[in-house]
Amino acid sequence: MNLKSYLLMIAIVWFPANVFAVVVPPIPTDPIYFEPPIEDAPTGSDELTCYQIDLAINKLHPYRYSYKPEYYDDSMNKLATTLVVFDAVPIVQGWLGLGYLGYSAAVGEKEQRRVLVIEQKISALQNLKALKHCYE
C-alpha cells in the first residue's frame, strides 16, 4: 500500500462526508388518464379462418387511439405551465409544475409505445390475411 492510498483511507475514516439520503416521495401508481387494456393477438393465428382474423383485427382497432389529450388540449399542462412561470412559493418554486410536465411527457411516451404495439399486431394479422388470400 502506497502513501497516497494510506492517507486517503485515513481521510475517509477520520473525516466522514455528510451524506444525505434522497427520499423519493411516493408516486401514485394509478394513471391519471384512461388506459385501455392491451388485447393480445390470438395465439395460433396460423389456424384462424379469414373471418376470425377479421374479428381479431376489429377487436384491436379501438386500442389504436390514444386517450391522452395533446399537450395544448390538456388543461393540467396549462396549469403546470402556469405554476412554473408564476409560482412564488419559496419552497416549491415551480418544481411541482415541472414534475407534472415530466410525468405528462412520460405518460405520452408510454401511450405512443402502446399504440405502436397495437399497430404492429394489426399489421401482422393483415399480413396473415394477405398470405391466406382472404376474400380474393
For cell 408564476, the residue is 86
Residue 125 lies in a domain: yes
Q: How many domains does the chain have?
A: 1
Per residue in 70-85, pLDDT (tens digit) is 888 888 888 888 888 8
Separation in Å, CA 126 to CA 46, 48, 61, 66, 132: 12, 12, 12, 21, 10
Residue 87 lies in a domain: yes
Residue 101 lies in a domain: yes
Question: All 3 cell numbers of residue 75?
Answer: 388543461
Q: Is the pLDDT of residue 21 over 60?
A: no
- In terms of residue numbers, what domain contains 113? 41-136
Percentage of the chain lying above the pLDDT 70 cut: 63
The Cα 45–Cα 76 span in angstroms is 42
Report which DSSP code applies to 64: G
Residue 65 lies in a domain: yes
The Cα 58–Cα 50 span in angstroms is 12
Percentage of the chain lying above the pLDDT 90 cut: 1
Residue 26 lies in a domain: no
Q: Is the pLDDT of residue 59 over 80?
A: yes
Q: Hey, what amino acid is at 60?
A: L
Q: Nearest to residue 135, comparing CAs of 50, 59, 56? A: 50
Residue 59 lies in a domain: yes
Residue 11 lies in a domain: no
Per-chain mean pLDDT for the chain? 76
Question: All 3 cell numbers of residue 53?
Answer: 382474423
For cell 486517503, the residue is 8
What are the residue ranges of helices labelled H in the chain? 3-14, 50-60, 75-86, 95-131
